[in-house]
Amino acid sequence: MIIPTMLALAAATTPLQPVSKWTVDYGTNMCTAARTFGSEASPTTFALQLTDYDINHAELAVLAPADGKDGSKGGVATLTLSPSGQTVKVDYMVWSVSGKVRGYKFRLKPDVMAQLGVSNGLALDAGGTPLSFATGGLQPLLTALNMCNTGLLQGWGIDSGTVAEPVGDPGKWITDLDYPSSAKQRGAKGKVTVVMTVTPEGRVSECRVVATSRDADLDKASCELLRRRARFVAQTSGAANRYSVQTATWFIGA
């Protein structure tokens, strides 16, 4: 639940100003809106994606200059929206990129997305590291992302009104422990996007690859795992199938 209170952090941290315009990348399997903040000499990239292919779920990625901290970790960050001052707890991951950049990913759930369109800035406290952005009005950006997302779904033969709501965290349906041994031995990696047909009971009846990882084992493993583990909210009326789109990222760390 969003709590109407103002963090001292938000007041104390000067928001980064934009140094570029918003861009929306119409990718083959995901729409991404991005903008650069800070300065050209020390840029911070702010990127937003609709992770579950609907306007109610998104992932915010931030690439910031290295702060001297190494390694990766996850936790719960505090996000403060401007001008309302409302705050919410969000899950996040942070990692180092080549020792020069710190990467952050924040998962934004429906309670945050409902407020994002009326916001013009946000501040994040991720493990004691403050991040603050003067984003400007975000509703036009969300509208553009949603239009891009609708175009992707239509290209895959899906009506955006038939997207199934997941049960639990889809990010946990496939983990590093699931890496196919044959693909791992070859050093294979990549992203695979699949469309799942969801029964009225909330289970996966079919799975098809719409954007391949270019490795047959990774593509096959993605569908097999999602068939077994993915669960969705059951329909309370009607008997029509629904759909869900998921992207699995297979990556072998250093």
Residue-wise DSSP of the chain: --EE---HHHHHSPPBPBSS--EEEE-SS-EEEEEEEE-SSSEEEEEEE-TTSSTT-EEEEEEEE--S--S-EEEEEEEEEETT-EEEEEEEEEEEETTTEEEEEEEE-HHHHHHHTT-SEEEEEETTEEEEE-----HHHHHHHHHHHHHHHHHTT--GGGBPPBSS-GGGSS-GGG--HHHHHHT--EEEEEEEEE-TTS-EEEEEEEE--S-HHHHHHHHHHHHHH--BPPPSS----EEEEEEEEE----
For residue 217, the enclosing domain spans 160-250
164 and 147 in a single domain? The answer is no
In the prediction, which pLDDT does 11 show? Answer: 42
130 and 176 in a single domain? The answer is no
pLDDT tens by residue, the chain, 254 residues = 444 433 343 344 799 999 999 999 988 888 999 999 999 899 999 999 988 788 888 999 999 988 766 677 889 999 999 999 999 999 999 888 767 888 999 999 888 999 999 999 999 998 788 899 999 999 999 999 999 988 988 988 888 778 888 898 888 899 989 999 999 999 999 999 999 999 999 999 999 999 999 999 999 999 999 999 999 999 887 768 899 999 899 988 65
In the prediction, which pLDDT does 253 show? Answer: 64
Per the structure, the count of domains in the chain is 2
In the prediction, which pLDDT does 9 show? Answer: 37
198 and 237 in a single domain? The answer is yes
Boundary of a domain, candidates 154, 173, 197: 154
117 and 235 in a single domain? The answer is no
127 and 234 in a single domain? The answer is no
In the prediction, which pLDDT does 8 show? Answer: 40
In the prediction, which pLDDT does 70 show? Answer: 67
Whole-structure pTM value: 0.76
The partner residues of 250 in beta bridges, in order of sequence, read 190
150 and 179 in a single domain? The answer is no
131 and 64 in a single domain? The answer is yes
